[in-house]
Chains A and B, each alone.
Chain A
Amino acid sequence: KQEVTQIPAALSVPEGENLVLNCSFTDSAIYNLQWFRQDPGKGLTSLLLIQSSQREQTSGRLNASLDKSSGRSTLYIAASQPGDSATYLCAVGFVGRRALTFGSGTRLQVQP
């Protein structure tokens, strides 16, 4: 079964810390992997999209990596800020499925 797992479910860090969020998936046959941010009561905002042929993508303080063979992706957030507090979701585009498969998310709290 094609599944996506995110651990931990919640994370609290002090402001300024560099942090890593993890995403694992069960099938290496993928088109792409996408990271999203969700603020409470809102929709999902796309952060980064990594194609299966890529190893990483960067946007500002965010860097996402992809290791298909081990079924893992990480989202690295540099110099975290209170405004980064949100839920971060990972979604995988498995070959053979038209829709993305989502993880359950990591709720991040950055303490000022």
Chain B
Amino acid sequence: DVKVTQSSRYLVKRTGEKVFLECVQDMDHENMFWYRQDPGLGLRLIYFSYDVKMKEKGDIPEGYSVSREKKERFSLILESASTNQTSMYLCASRTPQGSGSPLHFGNGTRLTVT
């Protein structure tokens, strides 16, 4: 079974703090994704990575950066947390689009910025 593990289930941070959200997958997947989910707005793609050190902006990259130094790990960084970044953050992974494999999600990190 594919396992996507997000390091924290709940995080509370203060405005202006630098925040790291970590995600690890155990299936050697090339593609990894970060989404945020908000009531009424659904899932929105922040960033994704199609291989080590490779990344592309998603639909809402402002205020975020990412790091993929190893294939199994994809980190989301909030450089200076703001209250409008309070949200549920979901990490996902799979083999490349068109390869026929499903997308697998972690359990999510509920981030509150005060």
Contact = CB atoms under 8 A, between A and B. Distances in A.
B26 to A, nearest CB: 15
B42 A99 contact: no
B56 A51 contact: no
Contact of B105 (A41, A45, A98, A104): A45
Interface bin, chain B: 20 to 34
B107 A105 contact: no
Interface bin, chain A: 20 to 34
Interface of A: 31-32, 34, 36, 41-46, 49, 51, 89, 91, 93, 97-100, 102-105
Given A31-B97, A104-B40, A104-B42, 17 more contacts: A31-B98, A34-B103, A41-B88, A41-B110, A43-B106, A44-B92, A45-B105, A46-B103, A46-B104, A46-B105, A49-B101, A89-B43, A93-B97, A97-B97, A98-B56, A99-B45, A100-B103
23 contacts: A31-B98, A32-B100, A41-B88, A41-B110, A42-B107, A43-B6, A43-B106, A43-B107, A44-B90, A44-B92, A46-B102, A46-B103, A49-B102, A51-B100, A93-B98, A98-B31, A98-B48, A98-B56, A99-B33, A99-B48, A102-B42, A104-B42, A105-B42
